[in-house]
C-alpha cells in the first residue's frame, strides 16, 4: 500500500510562502504606483473641450462608484498660490460625479460664512498662515478635514548672491489627487481596509522610522490611502482576522511555524 501523502509538504510550505510574497509585492507595487501618480507635479491634461480630464484609473473608478451626496468645502484664501490648482482639480472630480458639490469659503473676505464653517467643523485657530487653509469632505455624517499645507511638497534650495547666502522654498510635488481620493474614500466607506503586519519572526516594524529599513513611511502611505495598519501574531491560538484585507510579512529573520503557514493559507 502506498504511503499516505503528508497533508503539509515542503512543497506546500514553499507554495504558501511564495504566494504570500507575491500578493504582498503586488499590493506594494499598487500603493507605490498610486503615490507616484499622485506626486506628478501639474501633470493634468485636458483631453477635450468638454473638460474630459486625465485622473488616474483608481480615482475615476471610485468617483463613478459614489452614490451619496458629498459636500466639499474649501476654507481657503483665494490668493494662495495653489488655490486655483486645488479648486480646478476638485471641479474635475465634480464633473465626473455631480454628486460632489464644491464650494469655497474665503476666510479673509467672507467672515460670516468663515465663522460658521470654523465652528461646524471645529477648525483650529492658528497664527501661522500655513495652518489656515483647509479642505473638508462631508457625507452623511462622516467628515474628513485636511490641512491645505499638506497638498504640496517643498524643497529648500540654497542660493548665493553677492552679499549673503539665501534659502528659497521650491514646490516639487502636488499631492492633491492622492489626498482628495483618500478623503473621498474615507467619507463614503463604512470603515477602512485593514493591513496586518505579521510579527514574531524578526520582521521589520511598522513603527520603525529608520530611513533604510523602517516601515513607518509605508505605514503612513497606507493610512493616506485609507488602509489601517495593525500588528498581528499568529502564535498560540491567534488566527488571521476576518477583516484582514492585506497581510504583510516584512522581512522575517526566522522561519514561520507550520501552524502559522496553515492559518495564512
- In this structure, what CATH number is given to the domain that contains residue 142? 3.40.30.10
Number of domains into which the chain is organized: 2
Residues 146 and 212 occupy one common structural domain: no
Whether 258 and 8 have beta carbons less than 8 Å apart is answered as yes
Residues 165 and 216 occupy one common structural domain: no
Whether 136 and 144 have beta carbons less than 8 Å apart is answered as yes
Residues 200 and 182 occupy one common structural domain: no
Residues 122 and 76 occupy one common structural domain: yes
Structural domain span for residue 18: 11-36+191-264
Whether 210 and 187 have beta carbons less than 8 Å apart is answered as no
Assess if residue 83 is contained within a domain: yes
Residues 200 and 169 occupy one common structural domain: no
pLDDT at 146 over 80: yes
Question: Could you please report the per-residue DSSP string of 217-228?
Answer: HHHHHHHHTTEE
DSSP code of residue 46:
B
Mean pLDDT (whole number) for 213-218: 72
Whether 202 and 254 have beta carbons less than 8 Å apart is answered as yes
Helix count (H) and strand count (E) of the chain?
7, 9
Gap between the Cα atoms of 176 and 33, Å rounded: 15
DSSP code of residue 149:
G
Choose the final residue of a domain: 161, 188, 215: 188
pTM of the model: 0.61
Residue ranges in 40-105 assigned as alpha helix (H): 57-65, 83-96
Least Cα distance to 86 among 95, 100, 74, 98 occurs for 74
Whether 263 and 239 have beta carbons less than 8 Å apart is answered as yes
Mean pLDDT (whole number) for 158-163: 69
pLDDT at 35 over 70: no
Mean pLDDT of the chain: 78
Choose the final residue of a domain: 188, 219, 238: 188
Residues 81 and 129 occupy one common structural domain: yes
- Percentage of residues in the chain with pLDDT exceeding 90? 33
Give 141's contacts (C-beta < 8 A, 6+ positions apart): none
pLDDT tens readout for residues 221-261: 777 667 888 888 888 888 888 888 888 888 888 888 888 88
pLDDT tens readout for residues 99-135: 999 999 999 999 999 999 999 998 887 655 556 899 9
Residues 106 and 221 occupy one common structural domain: no
Assess if residue 89 is contained within a domain: yes
Give 240's contacts (C-beta < 8 A, 6+ positions apart): 196, 232, 234, 247, 263, 264
pLDDT tens readout for residues 47-67: 333 344 589 998 999 999 999
Q: What is the pLDDT of residue 103?
A: 98
Residues 103 and 152 occupy one common structural domain: yes
Choose the final residue of a domain: 169, 188, 207: 188
Whether 34 and 224 have beta carbons less than 8 Å apart is answered as no
Grid cell, residue 147, equals 490641512
Amino acid at each position: 500500500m502506498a504511503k499516505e501523502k503528508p497533508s503539509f509538504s515542503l512543497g506546500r510550505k514553499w507554495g504558501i510562502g511564495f504566494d504570500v510574497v507575491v500578493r504582498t509585492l503586488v499590493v506594494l507595487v499598487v500603493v507605490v504606483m498610486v503615490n507616484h501618480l499622485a506626486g506628478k507635479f501639474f501633470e493634468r491634461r485636458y483631453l477635450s473641450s468638454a473638460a474630459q480630464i486625465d485622473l488616474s484609473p483608481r480615482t475615476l473608478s471610485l468617483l463613478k462608484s459614489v452614490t451619496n451626496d458629498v459636500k466639499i468645502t474649501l476654507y481657503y484664501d483665494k490668493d494662495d498660490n495653489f488655490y486655483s490648482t486645488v479648486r480646478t482639480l476638485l471641479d474635475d472630480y465634480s464633473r465626473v460625479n455631480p454628486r460632489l458639490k464644491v464650494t469655497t469659503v474665503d476666510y479673509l473676505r467672507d467672515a460670516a460664512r468663515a465663522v460658521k464653517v470654523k465652528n461646524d467643523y471645529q477648525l483650529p485657530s492658528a497664527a501661522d498662515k500655513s495652518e489656515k487653509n483647509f479642505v473638508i469632505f462631508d457625507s452623511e455624517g462622516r467628515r474628513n478635514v485636511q490641512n491645505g499645507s499638506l497638498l504640496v511638497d517643498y524643497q529648500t534650495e540654497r542660493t548665493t548672491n553677492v552679499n549673503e547666502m539665501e534659502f528659497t522654498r521650491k514646490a516639487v510635488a502636488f499631492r492633491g489627487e492622492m489626498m482628495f481620493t483618500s478623503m473621498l474614500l474615507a467619507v463614503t466607506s463604512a470603515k477602512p481596509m485593514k493591513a496586518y503586519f505579521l510579527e514574531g519572526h524578526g520582521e521589520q516594524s511598522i513603527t520603525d522610522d529608520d530611513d533604510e529599513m523602517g516601515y513607518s513611511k509605508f505605514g503612513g502611505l497606507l493610512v493616506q490611502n485609507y488602509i489601517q495598519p495593525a500588528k498581528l501574531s499568529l502564535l498560540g491560538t491567534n488566527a488571521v482576522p476576518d477583516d484582514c484585507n492585506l497581510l504583510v510579512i516584512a522581512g522575517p529573520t526566522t522561519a514561520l511555524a507550520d501552524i502559522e503557514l496553515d492559518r495564512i493559507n
